[in-house]
Amino acid sequence: MAKEVLGYIKLQIPAGSANPAPPVGPALGQKGLNIQDFCKQFNDKTKDLEKGAPIPTIITAYKDRSFDFVTKKPPVTFYLKKAAKIKKGCQTPGRAKLGKVTMKQVEEIAKEKLEDLNAYDVDQASKIILGSARSMGMEIV
């Protein structure tokens, strides 16, 4: 018989640095889960990724106080900011341009994020990423 699901928790946690402090501790504590156990498992799973990269995580909490979690790739905006070497997006997109990304960089990001995006091939994923770049005020060259 399958375990009965208590609920789902969605968090964005920096890779390799989960700790019991907010937002992890309070979110897991409300469901009665072992916070230290989660932090240890998460840090072990993400130790090979770039330190501090925001990792979207979906935690499934069960009634017997056990849990499973799934990690995804960092958000597209993280990759775009890294490619354009900027700290944050433009405050007025459409009027001012802040950074530049090439189509080659966009395709590399699309290949990396393809499994997490709602697209069947790299061309469609590239279009999604181009839209994100435009909304951040980036110029595509």
Extents of the domains making up the chain:
5-71, 76-140
Note the pLDDT of residue 7.
86
* Cβ-contact 90, 137 below 8 angstroms: yes
Task: Please give the CATH architecture assigned to the domain spanning 5-71.
Answer: 2-Layer Sandwich (3.30)
User: 50 CB contacts (<8 Å, ≥6 apart)?
Assistant: 15, 74
The more confidently predicted of residues 126 and 21 is 126
pLDDT digits (tens, 9 = 90+) for 53-105: 899 999 998 888 888 899 888 888 888 888 888 887 777 777 778 888 888 98
Q: Is the dihedral of CA 26, 31, 32, 36 positive or negative?
A: negative
pLDDT digits (tens, 9 = 90+) for 5-60: 888 989 998 888 888 878 888 888 888 888 888 888 888 888 888 888 899 999 99
